[in-house]
A = this chain, B = another copy of it.
Amino acid sequence: MKLLPFLEIIRKELEKVEELIFSEGGLSYKPLAQSVENILRSGGKRLRPALTILASKLYPADEEKPILAAAAMELLHSATLIHDDFIDQSPTRRNVPTLNSLWPPAAVVLAGDHLFAKAASLAAMTGSPRVVRIFANALKTICDGEIRQLFGAFSWPQDQSDYYYRIYAKTSSLFEASAEIGAILSAAPEEAIQSLKEYGRNLGNAFQIVDDVLDFIGDEKVLGKPAGSDLRQGIVTLPVLYFVKSGGNEELVVKVLKARPEDKEKLLEELLREIRESPAIELSLSEAKAFAEKAQSAIAPLPESPYRSALISLADFAVGRNY
């Protein structure tokens, strides 16, 4: 199992999480079960389960429960990706064919539902109703965010508060829940739980902003998707907002959002170039860095340990990566 270097200290735990993720899920139609397994194997970075495990290690904790919760969070994440790719009709993710490119809509929806159920079952096995409640609320928030994104797509003007609600719903809520759940399953005092929750939320913001920046400047081969995917789907992200705010060509943005299919790619190409050459990329990245620092400050008062150091490194990684 390939891990980010600073996660080596929890290799044993993350390997147990993997076992749970691939454990018999009860999907009796094997060809579909095999496709779901391929997707689960296709190399996410396992950041959410890592977050749960690390957050559980700052104070004494039961050994097994955080592993169950970590697997639940990864499966919840995978389930939402399956439904998202179906909704966006994405052909691939991480260079692997999506479920919706292989199976009919009905199978895709049900396979996602089945993973939700498996995730909820693992969350319940922690024996903590508070953990299950946070798990369920994270799912609620994710769905609500997706729905808002769906009906808000292609609209203009949009402002930063729309954007921040959407990235909280889409990403930060699950990072926040992952950290909070880990802390709850340890002997962390309530104040420390809140600090770890705050760490997770800010880390999620940093992470998603960088993702949104990479959609403009990342290597298409490494990312496994073409540049400008968000704008192509009508989704306005922080670099676009900063582009306009710093005097960029707002008219071109509107043109891209309202373009007829046959004109879209050419206009999009032009806008991507202008955004890349504008201050928008740097402005967005420094906002991501500010969130990473906020995350780090939130856990600064917690007891020093190699696990806390790993959380600090994770925040640095979130903003330093190119994939």
Report chain B residues within 8 Å CB of A107.
147, 150-151
Q: Is A139 an interface residue (CB 8 A)?
A: yes
Q: What 1/0 flags go to A104-142 for Cβ under 8 Å of B?
A: 111101111110111011011111110011011101110
> Nearest CB to that of A137 among chain B residues?
B121
- With A123-B132, A129-B132, A132-B132 already in contact, the answer to whether A148 and B29 are too (CB < 8 A) is yes
Specify which of B112, B114, B129 is in contact with A126 (CB 8 Å cutoff): B129
A26-50 contacts to B (CB < 8 Å): 26-29, 32
Is A144 a contact partner of B109 (Cβ separation < 8 A)?
Answer: no
Is A120 a contact partner of B136 (Cβ separation < 8 A)?
Answer: yes
- With A107-B150, A109-B83, A110-B83 already in contact, the answer to whether A140 and B125 are too (CB < 8 A) is no
Tallying the copies of this chain within the complex gives: 2
Query: Chain A interface secondary structure, helix, strand, loop or mixed?
Result: helix
- With A106-B87, A125-B129 already in contact, the answer to whether A147 and B114 are too (CB < 8 A) is yes
Considering the chains assembled together, what is the distance between the CA atoms of A80 and B107 in angstroms? 14
A–B Cβ pairs within 8 angstroms, 12 of them: A26-B140, A27-B144, A29-B148, A87-B106, A112-B113, A116-B139, A117-B143, A120-B132, A120-B139, A124-B133, A124-B135, A125-B133
Is B147 a contact partner of A29 (Cβ separation < 8 A)?
Answer: yes
> Nearest CB to that of A118 among chain B residues?
B140
A74 to chain B, nearest CB (A): 16
A321 to chain B, nearest CB (A): 29
